Amino acid sequence: MKAVRERRESKEIVVRALHTTQGHDLDVYAFFIKGADIVKVADISRVDRDESDALKGFQRPEIRTHVKGIIDYLSQGDVLFPNAIILAMSPQVRFTASRGTRPTGDEGLAQAGTLTIPVNEAGERVAWIVDGQQRSLALAQIADKGIAVPVVAFISDSLELQRQQFILVNKAKPLPSRLINELLPETNGIQLPKDLSARKVPSEICNFLNRDVNSPFFKLIKRPSDRTNSEAIITDTAVITMIRNSMNNPLGALAPFKASLRDGPDLQSMYRLLVNFWNAVRAVFPDAWGLDPRQSRLMHSAGIEAMGVLMDRIYGRFSGTQGSYEAVKKELERVASSCRWTEGNWETLGVAWNEIQSTPRDIKKLQDALVRAYTTSSAS
């Protein structure tokens, strides 16, 4: 009686699907399903150990910040979501092929029909998420429950096969951060998650600095797409980080030009300020400018980021107005005698010039040394 009652209470989801076979006659289906329904038909097989210490499952634990980022993106309104969720499905699902003649030119790679998927209780569902755990959890939490999500599913009860597919679809390295940074300025007209949106403006300004002949950084910045520029010596990540830090600091030199509720960011004002400051840097430290980071720590990631903090301090003295080139140059000259970019030892740090590395600790120490030298000189 219990079994009969459970069958009666069981529900089903029916979708149009394409069927094909791969490998050793492994059934594979492609279809669309409501985003909120994925977690109704599929369980997450989290990696764990059973009582005998045997490994079970294959998924990593939920990453809350990742899920929240996806939720924020999907909640923006009309968004594009073409990323397919990959499921392993039990043979309990049923496929019924559509009748009719094959269209002219059809090579017969797939057969159309309907796929019936039982909806069971958690822990007893007929599918397991192989790829798309965080996306599936996010889709279940957004207000728009009807967003159509592409799914590719293969039929197998084998945990070994499920793990194999999980490893294969996740083994490829994610896009390098520098490549993402370079691509972001070209993503006009589409909505981006908050974490990517925050990287777009700094990367766009970095492009300007590298391409403008009037910029002190002209052709000096390494970008992933520019592999033939032998003059490039500064990593774009350092420049982007310097810009982003100044924008995000409420007292930063670039903060006043960030986007307001009505207007977008004032890129031109940001760019003029950066060119003004770094032209002054080049003038004050001519022997250290334009050299390989191994020869000059001013061109090193640590030097670029630390000087960005000093930039914020210097412009803070101008009461919110943009200082002239000469005014900025005069302020920079206050710290020139304390800097050891190409030789000697940093007296306040007790380390040689080339011992400064691109680590959070060294960058922070260099920032503090520059600010301390500037504050001391200003007070005298």
Same domain, 212 and 139: no
pLDDT of 60 = 46
DSSP for 96-144 reads EEPPSPPPTT---S-EEEEEEEEE--TTS-SEEEEE-HHHHHHHTTSS-
Q: Residue 115 has what pLDDT?
A: 96
State how many domains the chain has.
Answer: 2
Mark whether 160 and 214 lie in a shared domain.
Answer: no
Asked if residue 8 and residue 101 are part of one domain, the reply reads yes
Residue 121 has pLDDT above 90, yes or no: no
pLDDT of res. 182: 75
Look at 76 and 370; give whichever has higher pLDDT. 370
**Greater pLDDT, 199 or 190:** 199
pLDDT at 274 (0 to 100) = 97
Query: How remote is the C-alpha of 192 from its chain's centroid?
Result: 10
Extract the tokens encoding 146. Answer: 């009807």
Both tokens assigned to 17: 């699907």
Expressed as residue numbers, the domain containing 369 is 177-379
Taking all residues of the chain, what is their mean pLDDT, rounded to a whole number? 83
Q: What is the pLDDT of residue 235?
A: 92
163 and 182 share one domain:
no
Reported confidence tier of residue 354, pLDDT bands at 50, 70, 90: very high
Query: Shortest CA distance to 293 belongs to which of 359, 247, 357?
Result: 357
250-297: per-residue pLDDT in tens? 999 999 998 754 667 889 999 999 999 999 999 999 999 999 999 999
- The answer to whether the CB of 39 falls within 8 A of the CB of 127 is no
114 lies in the same domain as 188: no
- Based on the domain organization, do 326 and 184 belong to the same domain? yes
* pLDDT digit string, tens, across residues 300-328: 999 999 999 999 999 998 865 568 999 99
Structure tokens at 265: 């960011």
Q: Which one of 92-106, 149-163, 222-236 scores highest in mean pLDDT?
A: 92-106
Residue 196 has pLDDT above 90, yes or no: no
Count CB atoms within 10 A of the CB of residue 269. Answer: 13
Euclidean distance between the first and final Cα of the chain, in Å?
91
Residue 166: the pLDDT is 56
DSSP designation for 190? S
End residue of a domain, out of 111, 141, 171 = 171
Q: Where are the beta strands (DSSP E) in the chain?
A: 11-22, 26-34, 42-43, 48-49, 55-56, 85-89, 94-97, 111-119, 127-131, 148-155, 221-222, 234-235, 345-346, 351-352
pLDDT of the residue at 57: 42
Q: Which residues have CB under 8 Å from 57's CB, separation 6+?
A: 45, 46, 47, 48
Does 79 or 294 have the greater pLDDT score? 294
Same structural domain for residues 303 and 364? yes
Give kind and range of the element (H or E) at residue 305.
helix 301-316
Does residue 234 share a domain with residue 93?
no
Tell me, yes or no, whether 184 and 164 share the same domain.
no
Cβ atoms of residues 113 and 62 within 8 Å:
no
Tokens of 1: 């009686």
Give me the percent of the chain exceeding a pLDDT of 90: 48
Residues 198 and 152 in one domain: no
Q: CB–CB of 51/143 below 8 Å?
A: no
The mean-pLDDT minimum among 57-71, 150-164, 256-270, 282-296 falls in 57-71
Answer with the one of 133, 149, 171 that is the final residue of a domain: 171
Instruction: Based on the fold, state whether residues 104 and 204 are members of the same structural domain.
Output: no
Q: What gap in Å lies between CA 133 and CA 100, rounded to an integer?
A: 37
End residue of a domain, out of 137, 171, 205: 171
Residues 6+ apart with CB under 8 A from 216: 275, 278, 279, 281, 282, 289
Both 91 and 213 in a single domain?
Answer: no
